[in-house]
Amino acid sequence: MKLPYLLPWLGAGLLAIFSCSKSSTHPLPSGQDQPSITISDVTLARQPRQNISFRFYLGLSTSSTQEVTVNYHTEAGTAIAGKDFISDSGVLHIAPGSTQAYVDITVIADSLRRPNQTFYLVLSDPNHATLAKNKATGTILNQDLPYLPTSDSGYTSPLSYPGYRLVWHDEFDEQQLADSNWNYEIGGNGWGNQELEYYTSRPQNVFLSDGKLIIEARQESYGNNAYTSARITTQGKHEFQYGRIDIRAKLPVAQGLWPALWMLGSNIKQVGWPQCGEIDIMELIGKNPREVVGSLHWKKADGNVATFNNKYDLSQGDFSQAFHVFSLLWSADSLQILVDDIPYVKAARQDLSDGIYPFDQPFFFIFNVAVGGNWPGPPDQTTIFPQRMFVDYVRVFQQN
């Protein structure tokens, strides 16, 4: 063969060789023509009486002309398989032309109020698709459930006393707070003390469980406030003058919390505060977890607020660890405030003589948990929410 005929053949061959070499150094990306799979997170409130399904949706970025398959399985997080959800695994099929499918995972019914829980649905081994997101979170909302037991340990008081009769009580054994006994005070205006909470009537903040009244303070945005809680009264429904009052309660003790069991004079709408009088059977400032304060307030002759009070300190433990009984012994001419039958505030009429004596008229109850305020100060990084006050009963005895 002559050289002029060989060169054209070599040129075409070399061009083919160089073209193949260039292509081999830049391969097409794997899965370039395949759709990608994503999976959505799911958040649902748990139900107390029936199981519910958490539906996890899978989506394709574009439909495929081929059937797409992907393996899935559940993984436990803070939620426990077999107790909180039913574990599952399998293969999910997405038909040609479709862009969506789903997997249902069963969440087991429960009524216990507790922190929210999580579990996961994990994808693997896709066929005719790639994974853009291979794991979704299922969040089980438990914080609004109705059952919240607590240890009943602590001090107790009797249902009768010699020389007294039981004239009214609430043992909180019903399913919900009785409207015939209690009012809900609503709002977030600081309540005269620069408090930070918004008081609501929601079951998230006040409910009955296991024979206890529970007032729950939460850190959450509500109205213009960063916290919620509850404040209930017997105003206009149950008002009392003299006798013995016992309230059995367990208290929140964190920084910035201010639980109180107290009374105001029933004529507050006519004369205002402090002329109506105030009896604080129990107040606790969260930074002092072993100390409660009992106080009497009224209006002095010069118009200022008069205060007669004292504090009571536990010898061990704090007021969140067990129930204690907070009591008032009240007659026409004296008042005593007690913890576990130990009197620590004792006032005779002559001790409260500056101004108009208000403690010879009916008073009504107020139970609340304040957050922040002039006295306790705000919560800080040590304050863990929610915080709760448990009240086992309130009982009013009067002399025969």
**Residues tagged active-site:** 278, 283
**Main-chain dihedrals φ then ψ at residue 246, nearest 5 degrees:** -120, 130
Asked if 85 contacts 183 with a C-beta cutoff of 8 angstroms, the reply is: no
CB-based contacts of 291-298 (< 8 A; 24+ apart in sequence) = 292/251, 292/319, 292/326, 292/339, 294/337, 294/344, 294/345, 295/345, 296/335, 296/345, 296/347, 296/352, 296/359, 298/274, 298/352, 298/355, 298/356, 298/357, 298/358, 298/359
| H-state helical runs in 196-334 | 268-271
Q: Provide the residue type at 75 as one letter.
A: E
DSSP labels for 297-349?
A: EEE-TTSSEEEEEEEEE-SSS-TTSSBEEEEEEE-SSEEEEEETTEEEEEEEG
Residue 369 forms beta bridges with which residues?
259
